[in-house]
Amino acid sequence: MNRRIKTALLGVLLFLAGSTCFAQTGSANDARAIIKHAVGAVGIPDVETKTLHFRDVIGNVQDFQSDRTYPPYFSGQVTREVWFDPHAGIERATAQSYFPGSGPTPPSTSISNEKLVAGIRDSKAVIVPGAKPMMRRLNAWAVLLDWQNSPDVSVVGKEVYRDYPRTVLSRKVNGLEERLYLDVKTGFPVKVDTWESHYLWGQVHVEYIYSTWVEAGGAFVPGSSFCMVDGETNMTRTMGTIEIKEKSEAPDMILPDPPPASANPPSSVPLFLQPLPPKTIKVSDNTYLLSNPGYTETITLVGNKVYMLDATQGEARAKQDEALIHQLFPGKHEIVVVITDLAWPHVAGIRYWVSTGATIVSHRASKEFLTKVIDRKWTVAPDELEKNRGKAKMKFVAVGDQYTAENGKIKLYPIDGIGSEVALMAFLPEDKFLWASDYVQTLREPTMYASEVIAAATRAGIQPEQIAAEHLPLTQWKAVIDAQKPKNKSGTLSASGNHHQESDR
């Protein structure tokens, strides 16, 4: 019998069975039977000796580093050629990325299953320590196979989702519950629902949704998949032509053996978010850079106040910064934290500083977003702000056209280029030092960001001698000026394109 007809008939029987099809909660045997039915419903057993081949386009919303903290946000785009082994649950993808002003990147190839990721280097697969297959849950077949192999799946019951009853299964992943929603009438997967820890929001509700199913060689694949975070679309995947091919046509899809377990396994947290101990770099007797591989910040003692220029990475980094402040500037000082840019990793330490009573200074347009960050409830792993929720309140000072404090010893200016709206830079006249936020990142070529910082300094009538930024070491101001001179006849200026393609999840 044709698979489409078999699936339809089985779906009708299940639908007619209604709420009596499965108990509200069920044993592991019930869960295994439900998963087995779902795997069969989409046609995996009929093609498990073959290979699924397709191309897709994945859009990843960059809300965490767009030019505003509200829509519209720009997206990074990835185009891929994908091979999926429906027997082993292994995916091989060759990807190219597009970002505003850059791309396509050179093709890169990876092989992955639920737990391991290997990169292809010189035609050899090499395990990437600590890497996670971030896009795997967009693949409904991979999800079904992962759940089929999971030892702790249980039946939760039924729930109406997207207008129809779904059977809900549960399992634990890294200590957090994950739920799989399966359509009652067909067995097709509809959604994976879970919670994930988040460096800025504490925890986020994540949903992977499968829709617009298409048939390929007697099997069924969702032509569209989505990742929703806290109810907003975060990723989309659109599949092109889908083929069932013989395994002999597929490239190598063998994963190397995992490395031996280590007493200190590599972190799965991206390097730019790891709060590694910062080094101190002296600018003057009262001003220091605090720098680790992810971010540089600046602290300066002005009178009896310590100004902290940006608060990146999160609470652990903020506590390290606080210890260095006490070490470099002994005694009791009021702390003022200047937030110059609102990219999420750049402000992740603000909650800790608010919990200590620090004053927050930022662009007047920043208040609504920063208030949202402070008001967020951290329920899974309460941080210091959450523990002191009843006492801690944000003391916010808004910056308009200019902000001058401590008898002119610190000055803040909006950069205000078309690529740097709502961003600030800070100038310390006694040190002739300019803190450029995240808006000078490279001296290898002319960039729009750097030109906007130069224009803002000229407009303000300041003449720095040294400059630093979140990704720029202590540098002579003249070097920044010189870097803006065209390096070739075309005089091509890098598009605002100085984003680091940081991942928020």
C-alpha span between 402 and 412 (Å, rounded): 6
Residues 278, 184 within the same domain: no
- Predicted confidence band at 391 (pLDDT cuts at 50, 70, 90)? confident
- The reported pLDDT for the residue numbered 270 is 84
User: Is residue 363 over pLDDT 60?
Assistant: yes
Percent of the chain scoring above 90 in pLDDT: 83
Q: What is the tally of structural domains in the chain?
A: 2
Residues 231, 100 within the same domain: yes
Question: Is position 94 within any domain?
Answer: yes
The CATH number given to whatever domain includes residue 347 is 3.60.15.10
Q: Which residues pair with 84 in a beta bridge?
A: 52, 91
User: Is residue 281 over pLDDT 80?
Assistant: yes
Mean pLDDT of 141-157: 96
Of the candidate ranges 4-18, 51-65, 355-369, 394-408, the one whose mean pLDDT is the lowest: 4-18
Nearest to 420 by CA among 312, 342, 346, 360: 342
Nearest to 394 by CA among 318, 337, 340: 337
Of the candidate ranges 3-12, 24-33, 107-116, 464-473, the one whose mean pLDDT is the lowest: 3-12
Residues 48, 145 within the same domain: yes
Question: Is position 259 within any domain?
Answer: no
- Predicted confidence band at 259 (pLDDT cuts at 50, 70, 90)? confident
- The reported pLDDT for the residue numbered 440 is 97
Residues 425, 467 within the same domain: yes
- The reported pLDDT for the residue numbered 495 is 46
Residues 319, 357 within the same domain: yes
What residue numbers bound the domain in which 11 lies? 3-248
Mean pLDDT (the chain, rounded) = 91
Residues 167, 276 within the same domain: no
**Euclidean distance between the first and final Cα of the chain, in Å?**
45
Q: Render 258-319 in DSSP notation, one character per residue.
A: PPPP-SSPPPSS-GGG--PPPEEEEEETTEEEEE-SS-EEEEEEETTEEEEE---S-HHHHH
The CATH number given to whatever domain includes residue 139 is 2.50.20.10
Which tens digit of pLDDT belongs to each residue from 203-226? 999 999 999 999 998 999 999 999
User: Is residue 5 over pLDDT 50?
Assistant: no
Residues 307, 236 within the same domain: no
User: Is residue 261 over pLDDT 80?
Assistant: no
Residues 423, 477 within the same domain: yes
Q: Which residue has the tokens 């990742």?
A: 227
- Three-class DSSP labels, 384-445: HHHHCCCCCCCEEEEECCCEEECCCCEEEEECCCCCCCCCEEEEECCCCEEECCCCCCCCCC
C-alpha span between 194 and 362 (Å, rounded): 34
- The reported pLDDT for the residue numbered 499 is 53
Mean pLDDT of 349-376: 98
Residues 234, 332 within the same domain: no
Q: At 495, is the secondary structure helix, strand, or coil?
A: coil
- The reported pLDDT for the residue numbered 130 is 84
Higher pLDDT, 249 or 123: 249
Question: Is position 277 within any domain?
Answer: yes
Of the candidate ranges 78-87, 192-201, 255-264, 472-481, the one whose mean pLDDT is the lowest: 255-264
Residues 56, 25 within the same domain: yes
Question: Is position 504 within any domain?
Answer: no
- The reported pLDDT for the residue numbered 29 is 80
- The reported pLDDT for the residue numbered 418 is 96
User: Is residue 486 over pLDDT 90?
Assistant: no
Global pTM value: 0.89
Residues 292, 438 within the same domain: yes
- The reported pLDDT for the residue numbered 174 is 82
Mean pLDDT of 59-84: 97
